[in-house]
C-alpha cells in the first residue's frame, strides 16, 4: 500500500486508531508493536483503522469501511453501495477523516459541537502496557 502525504486531521485519526486498537487487548497491542518493527507506520495505522471501523460500524464481511471506500459513485461493488458512499460523503462534508476509527461517534460529536479528542488526550488515558512505540 503506497504511503501518501497526510493532513493533520488524517494523521491524528490514524494515531487515535492505533491507540484504540492497542487498547483492545494486550495481544492486539503486541501485534501492532510487532507490525511497527517491520512495516511503515502509516501501513500499520491503516490496518488499525480498518479493524476499528469494522468493529465500531459493525460491518459485515462484504461491507466497505470508509477508510477503504475510494469512490463517490453509488453503484455495484465493494465500496459503492448507497450506505458506504453516503457515509463517506457525510464524513468529508463534516471535515472528518476517512481514517476516523469511530465515524458515527465522530459525526455525532461534531453535530453536538464537541471537538474530537486529540491523540495527546488518548495517550494520557492509555494504560502503559498498551502503548505503542512511536504512536
Give pLDDT tens digits for 60-111.
999 999 999 988 899 999 999 999 999 999 999 999 999 999 999 999 999 9
Give me 10's grid cell: 488524517
pLDDT value for 104: 97
Report pLDDT digits (tens) over 21-46.
999 999 999 999 999 999 999 999 99
The residue with cell 490514524 is: 14
- Does a structural domain hold residue 130? no
* Torsion, Cα of 96, 98, 104, 109 (10° steps): -20
Give me 47's grid cell: 490496518
DSSP class of residue 57 equals H
- Does a structural domain hold residue 2? no
- Does a structural domain hold residue 48? yes
- Does a structural domain hold residue 133? no
- Does a structural domain hold residue 115? yes
pTM of the model: 0.82
Q: Domain span at residue 108?
A: 8-125
Q: How many domains does the chain have?
A: 1
Q: Which helix (H) or strand (E) holds 108?
A: helix 103-111
CA distance 89 to 31: 32
pLDDT value for 116: 76
Amino acid at each position: 500500500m503506497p504511503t501518501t502525504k497526510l493532513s493533520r486531521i488524517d494523521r491524528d485519526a490514524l494515531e487515535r486508531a492505533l491507540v484504540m486498537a492497542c487498547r483492545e487487548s494486550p495481544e492486539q497491542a503486541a501485534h501492532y508493536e510487532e507490525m511497527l518493527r517491520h512495516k511503515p507506520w502509516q501501513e500499520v495505522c491503516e490496518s488499525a483503522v480498518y479493524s476499528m471501523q469494522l468493529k465500531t460500524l459493525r460491518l459485515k464481511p462484504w461491507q466497505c469501511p470508509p477508510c477503504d471506500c475510494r469512490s463517490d459513485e453509488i453503484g455495484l461493488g465493494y465500496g459503492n453501495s448507497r450506505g458506504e458512499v453516503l457515509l463517506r460523503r457525510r464524513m468529508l462534508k463534516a471535515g472528518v477523516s476517512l481514517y476516523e476509527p469511530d465515524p458515527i461517534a465522530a459525526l455525532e460529536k461534531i453535530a453536538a459541537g464537541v471537538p474530537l479528542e486529540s491523540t495527546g488526550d488518548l495517550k494520557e488515558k492509555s494504560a502503559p502496557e498498551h502503548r505503542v512505540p512511536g504512536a
